[in-house]
Structure 1
Amino acid sequence: MAGETEKIPWNLWQCLLVLLGMVTAGYGTALLVRFFAPGLAPAYRYLMVGLAQGAAVLGGLHYIVRVKNGLGLEAVGLKTTTVPRAITSGLGGGLVLFLLVILVGSLLQLFLPDQAPQPFTELVIHARRPSDLLIPLFLASFLAPVTEELYFRGFLFPVLKERYGLKKGLLGSGLIFALLHFDLVRFLPLTMGGVGLAYLYERTENIVAAIIAHATWNTIMIFLLYFALRWV
């Protein structure tokens, strides 16, 4: 399975440094936009923050994996030999995770007071034309799946698994994934989704499967939000 054959050449401290870089890039960009471009449309604010976070993650992984350790992208699970199987597994896994997250989220709503939608959700809800979904789809269906899966599943999960074992590695990566979304109401569903994505990577040994699953989950959610309000 993923990460079992060789010792992971990076450590938990380096994982935390990349995570810190991602958070700093996101908040730093948000502050700069608020100060220098307060009238910028929300979609473009999200785009700039997302690009900054993505650059921080990919830059950190590039330095630690490729520059510092001289390894290729295979080290973080990006393999070309099993891509067709990974795509199939990702599509099926993404659908299952979407249904699971929806189910758990719906059950939680029975016990929680009505919550205001998250800002990104409002961006989708207030989209007037299909073209207004271009930036949300780019962020949620491409940029986030690629950068988050490379980091949380390809980079962080193997370290947690090697240090604490498979079960704790799955749970730990899921918990950290959920925490970084800063969404208390969806914490449990996101944790379960993160565990599911790590398990999918563990089973397929190809990060492409997790990326496709993440993209499928997010894409279905966006279109569901967009069209549901127009059918009501």
Structure 2
Amino acid sequence: MINERGWDMESLIRLLLGVILCMCAAVLIHTVVVTPEMAQTSAGRFLGFVINTGCLHVGILFVVHRFLKQQSIGWSAGFGLNKNGWGRAIVRGMVIGLLIAPLVMALQAGCHWLFTQAEVKAPRQEVVTTLVQTVQWDQRIYFGFIAIVIAPVVEEIMFRGVMYPALKYRGYGAAAVWGSAIIFAMMHGNLLSLIPLTLLGLLLIALYEWSGNLLTPIFAHSTFNAVNFALITFGQQWLKEIPGAS
């Protein structure tokens, strides 16, 4: 079980305002720096990705640090990082992440088939398109670092570490589970991935409840992203090497 911490309402409001400020800063800087012409190029899209991740991820981590400090709580106490040993939490997360990946990917494939049958167009997630079109390895390494290291930490802190318990311990159990999972999926901005990522969000909530240590869903999420990153980065090259594949 996770720590029964509903978080102070005033601090939650400040946290939300801080996150909104980070989002506004990302949009403003992106608009000023990345011109419409640049946005049509792979280099421009990569620059936009750097701006967005820098403002959002770094900014949110700073806001969360302030959020915890206002309540005189450390990171370990706030998210149970020492519960049952961090080593065990990490290993469990990685193993379960490997088990989750095929399940979510199978659901993604099923959704793609349904969309195709219904003749519904679902554009690929913008960040995936940018990654596929990226050929420079320094840029791919940056993508991998964000996807595998930074994004899981930030997203698990916000959705499982803060939003979920904040709603749950105010008596909104269903909203805590479904709300945090659906908003997590919607944040990725891709209709095709909405159901698969909602399932992922639900599984990560279950992991947090089971382990009581946020490191477990963080490393499960990280492993899931690592599998996807490897398939996107190397999968197309493997297909090219298979005779008759396209």
Q: Under TM normalisation by the shorter chain, which class is it?
A: 0.7 to 0.9
Residue 173 (structure 1) aligns with: 180
Amino acid aligned to 1:117: R
Contact 1:22 1:54 in 2 (8 A): no
Could you list the runs of 5+ residues in structure 2 that have no partner in the other structure? 240-246
Residue 242 (structure 2) aligns with: none
Q: 2:215, 2:34 → 1: CA distance?
A: 36
Aligned to 1:124, the other structure's residue is in SS state helix
Residue 2 (structure 1) aligns with: 2
1:121, distance to aligned residue in structure 2 (A): 0.5
Residue 151 (structure 1) aligns with: 158
Q: 1:41, 1:191 → 2: CA distance?
A: 30
Aligned pairs (5 A) from 1:1-232? 1-4=1-4, 7-11=5-9, 14-15=11-12, 17-38=14-35, 39=38, 41-66=44-69, 68-73=70-75, 74-79=77-82, 82-112=85-115, 113-164=120-171, 166=173, 168-232=175-239
Could you list the runs of 5+ residues in structure 1 that have no partner in the other structure? none
1:114, distance to aligned residue in structure 2 (A): 4.6
| Identity rate, percent | 25
**Alpha-carbon RMSD:** 2.2
**Count of residues in correspondence between the two structures:** 228
Q: 2:51, 2:154 → 1: CA distance?
A: 15
Per the normalisation by structure 1, the TM-score is 0.87
Per the normalisation by structure 2, the TM-score is 0.83
Larger Rg over CA atoms = 2
Aligned to 2:192, the other structure's residue is in SS state coil
Q: 1:122, 1:21 → 2: CA distance?
A: 29
Q: Residues 43 and 19 from structure 1, CA distance in 2 versus in 1: closer, same or farther, beyond 3 angstroms? A: farther
1:14, distance to aligned residue in structure 2 (A): 4.8
Q: Residues 18 and 185 from structure 1, CA distance in 2 versus in 1: closer, same or farther, beyond 3 angstroms? A: farther
Q: 2:123, 2:232 → 1: CA distance?
A: 14
Q: Residues 70 and 227 from structure 1, CA distance in 2 versus in 1: closer, same or farther, beyond 3 angstroms? A: same
Q: 2:34, 2:134 → 1: CA distance?
A: 22
